[in-house]
Chains A and B, each alone.
Chain A
């Protein structure tokens, strides 16, 4: 056998230009903020300090909301067709500067460049293109003239797909005539701040997009601001519940895109090799930092051993390491805190009695890393089978009948996504009808498109993002 030597292919960082520290983007320009509290934003793959961002305080939030209110007046006086053209222009600019964004995203967040370059950025541009075209067709979307924008929307987004989550939030909000105050996650603010530059470059009216950095305290200030008309949040179910609670009794719109513990059901009549690929993509995509990750593998008993053997073999080929290496499949865990959480749950799985398999691979010395992990011999009651791990950890359960598969799949407070693998069409439709999940991937997994609505049942949240249904998250019926 030829022993191929590994040759890395590292994307250059030259294209990005990171400032020493950043200001908030309010009223169309970067402004000195009131808060003096800065934190470091680091690269999770090297632990190198990339820059400093500010933890915005009450005054900063207030400035941003006021700017968005003024922005709303301007945006409301801009014709829908002009709004559409603004969004088209932004979409084009994103495409033109996409490599820069992709490299920065991988540096700041730790995701493999092949994902930021080939998935995140193309999807970001696609979202702006898609919603650009809706801006002057809102009346056609639901056949109702009474649908109006909320006004000022506070948007709080997570660190797993930093710029893509921004696109999912900002594009539909602007297309429906709202203005936004957006807060990126504190570990991944850099691409949002670069996007702010783009808004300036695109000539978007001042105050339409406001981006302020900060942590949970800043998020809470946005939620509790008296002049916010709607909150859109993506993040954990725990924080989502807190937000829902804080908005109780207030006339503020709310959509929540929260956690998940998706079942990926493989029937014995599935195309096994194809299913193995899909299961690997379902859980190891983006280090498993995906709310809709297929983290519970449900195998029909008869194929369990064969499937697990193939899965372990395939997992072993996953390359873990430098996110900027174009060959890397699995990058860095986003933060030390998240790594601790993953380690904690995995240790619990082992002590509960789960059988663990981890791939043999060398992990870099610095940074935060976790080996691709598979659990078998798991009981449905184990926390690794119930809680969202949000890392590269797959838990296997078995079933005998389709009825049992559906019952196990639905036996969770979450309901974001699910997968079904079978070559039998009628079984796909039967299963999909019964799964309590906002997205069902049949013979595929983790596919996304701006025209395809995304969002959860049950405690995975409410409201949809993407598609015609996604417009409703930013519109309210007015008589």
Chain B
């Protein structure tokens, strides 16, 4: 019987879409190969438009509900664990490695699910100002985050490149190259987890085709680079970013509370006290 092979597409604005260019590239995995979308500059712009809408919706959702949506994501992955393991094995992992990778990813999601309704209590505080004022510093999500995933075929690595901004209310455009197949598969669980459309978008492609546009796009508020890239490329990205004082995070921390700080803006509000 002939094998029916899944077509993997980008995931933008809550929908599975092909690249508008019609182009794909071949992912040669250790034990299989797939044609996946070759994201174009226009696809990037469309993803940013969706992410802006996604950001508004996602940041309006209460922390309590965010916790539950993130937790549901872990439930979804748990339910599809075998299919992730199979895919990771196609990519070259041993079954044990694959299992461990998926389990670690789930553990991480649960950890961040539990952080979604607490981080403001850790990163924010009252300030004891000298005077009769109520003064509080708390944080807002920075906005639309573009995240470049590493080339590791690993669900844990993918999660580590998106979960921190997502937890604090940013919308994310996740871009993968050689590891795209895991990301595109992961989009299915995002789709089943009550995330508002546009809050998390998954793209596959070659970063060198789009990095100029990404770094010049004024509506991307932060670029998070989770893989080693050539210094000339990093330099160009940072130069372009300076035109709109865009934030660039190279190899972001994945350690505890410091992992979310880059994705936050601190806002301090003053009000006089009196009778």
Q: Mark A residues whose CB is within 8 Å of B.
A: 126, 142-144, 146-147, 237, 240-242, 244-245, 247-249, 256, 258, 413, 428, 432, 435-444, 447, 449, 451-455, 457-462, 464, 467-469, 472, 477, 479
B94 within 8 Å of A (CB atoms) = no
Q: Can you name 8 extra interface pairs (CB under 8 A) apart from A451-B128, A455-B266? A: A144-B256, A248-B238, A248-B242, A249-B239, A258-B245, A435-B267, A449-B131, A467-B127
Expressed in whole angstroms, the minimum distance between the Cβ of B227 and any Cβ of chain A is 16
B245-275 toward A: CB 8 Å interface, digit per residue (1/0)? Answer: 1010000010111100100011111111000
Residue A146 contacts which of B123, B245, B247, B255 (CB distance < 8 angstroms)? B255
B93-133 toward A: CB 8 Å interface, digit per residue (1/0)? Answer: 00000000000000000000000000000110101111101
Q: A249-B235, A457-B265, A467-B127 are in contact. Are A452 and B270 (CB under 8 A)?
A: yes
Report how far A237 CA is from B242 CA in the complex, Å: 10
Closest to B244 in A: A459
Report how far A467 CA is from B130 CA in the complex, Å: 13
Report how far A240 CA is from B269 CA in the complex, Å: 25
Report how far A405 CA is from B173 CA in the complex, Å: 30
A-B contact pairs, 8 of them (CB 8 A): A144-B257, A248-B238, A413-B244, A435-B267, A437-B267, A439-B268, A444-B133, A459-B244
Contact B272 A443 (CB under 8 A): yes
Contact B270 A441 (CB under 8 A): yes
Report how far A240 CA is from B257 CA in the complex, Å: 28
9 nearest A-B residue pairs (beta carbon): A249-B235, A248-B238, A244-B242, A449-B129, A245-B242, A248-B239, A451-B127, A442-B271, A459-B245
- Which of A126, A248, A442 has most chain B Cβ within 10 Å? A248
Contact B135 A452 (CB under 8 A): yes
Size of the chain B interface, CB-CB below 8 angstroms = 40
B137 within 8 Å of A (CB atoms) = yes
Contact B235 A453 (CB under 8 A): no
Contact B234 A453 (CB under 8 A): no
Chain A residue contacts of B253, Cβ below 8 A: 477
Contact A452 B272 (CB under 8 A): no
Residue B257 contacts which of A143, A444, A454 (CB distance < 8 angstroms)? A143
Contact A453 B255 (CB under 8 A): no
Contact B272 A249 (CB under 8 A): no
Contact B238 A249 (CB under 8 A): yes
B7 within 8 Å of A (CB atoms) = no
Contact A442 B261 (CB under 8 A): no
B20-50 toward A: CB 8 Å interface, digit per residue (1/0)? Answer: 0000000000000000000000000000000
Contact B270 A453 (CB under 8 A): no
Contact B239 A245 (CB under 8 A): yes
Chain B residue contacts of A245, Cβ below 8 A: 238-239, 242
Q: Total A-B pairs in contact (CB under 8 Å)?
A: 122
Report how far A453 CA is from B261 CA in the complex, Å: 15
B80 within 8 Å of A (CB atoms) = no
Contact A244 B135 (CB under 8 A): no
Contact B245 A462 (CB under 8 A): yes
Expressed in whole angstroms, the minimum distance between the Cβ of A38 and any Cβ of chain B is 33
Expressed in whole angstroms, the minimum distance between the Cβ of B142 and any Cβ of chain A is 8
Report how far A441 CA is from B133 CA in the complex, Å: 10
Contact B255 A477 (CB under 8 A): yes
Chain A residue contacts of B130, Cβ below 8 A: 126, 449, 451
Expressed in whole angstroms, the minimum distance between the Cβ of A414 and any Cβ of chain B is 10
Contact A438 B268 (CB under 8 A): yes
Report how far A323 CA is from B99 CA in the complex, Å: 73
Expressed in whole angstroms, the minimum distance between the Cβ of A165 and any Cβ of chain B is 18
Contact B266 A244 (CB under 8 A): no
Contact B238 A461 (CB under 8 A): no
B243 within 8 Å of A (CB atoms) = yes
Contact B235 A248 (CB under 8 A): yes
B241 within 8 Å of A (CB atoms) = yes
Report how far A377 CA is from B244 CA in the complex, Å: 30
Expressed in whole angstroms, the minimum distance between the Cβ of A269 and any Cβ of chain B is 16
Report how far A452 CA is from B131 CA in the complex, Å: 12
Contact B258 A442 (CB under 8 A): no
Report how far A443 CA is from B135 CA in the complex, Å: 12
Expressed in whole angstroms, the minimum distance between the Cβ of A358 and any Cβ of chain B is 30
Closest to A244 in B: B242
Report how far A241 CA is from B242 CA in the complex, Å: 5
Report how far A117 CA is from B271 CA in the complex, Å: 25
Contact B266 A453 (CB under 8 A): yes
Report how far A393 CA is from B122 CA in the complex, Å: 40
Contact A449 B267 (CB under 8 A): no
- Which of B122, B255, B270 has most chain A Cβ within 10 Å? B270
Contact A468 B244 (CB under 8 A): no
Contact A453 B127 (CB under 8 A): yes
Contact A444 B272 (CB under 8 A): yes
Q: A146-B255, A449-B130, A479-B255 are in contact. Are A247 and B266 (CB under 8 A)?
A: no
Chain B residue contacts of A459, Cβ below 8 A: 244-245
Chain A residue contacts of B258, Cβ below 8 A: 142, 144, 146-147, 477
Report how far A479 CA is from B256 CA in the complex, Å: 12
Closest to A446 in B: B270
Residue A244 contacts which of B140, B238, B257 (CB distance < 8 angstroms)? B238
Chain B residue contacts of A468, Cβ below 8 A: 125, 137
Q: A437-B267, A439-B270 are in contact. Are A247 and B238 (CB under 8 A)?
A: yes
Contact B245 A249 (CB under 8 A): no
Chain A residue contacts of B272, Cβ below 8 A: 443-444
Chain B residue contacts of A442, Cβ below 8 A: 269-271
Contact A444 B231 (CB under 8 A): no
Chain B residue contacts of A453, Cβ below 8 A: 127, 137, 266, 268
Report how far A146 CA is from B137 CA in the complex, Å: 23
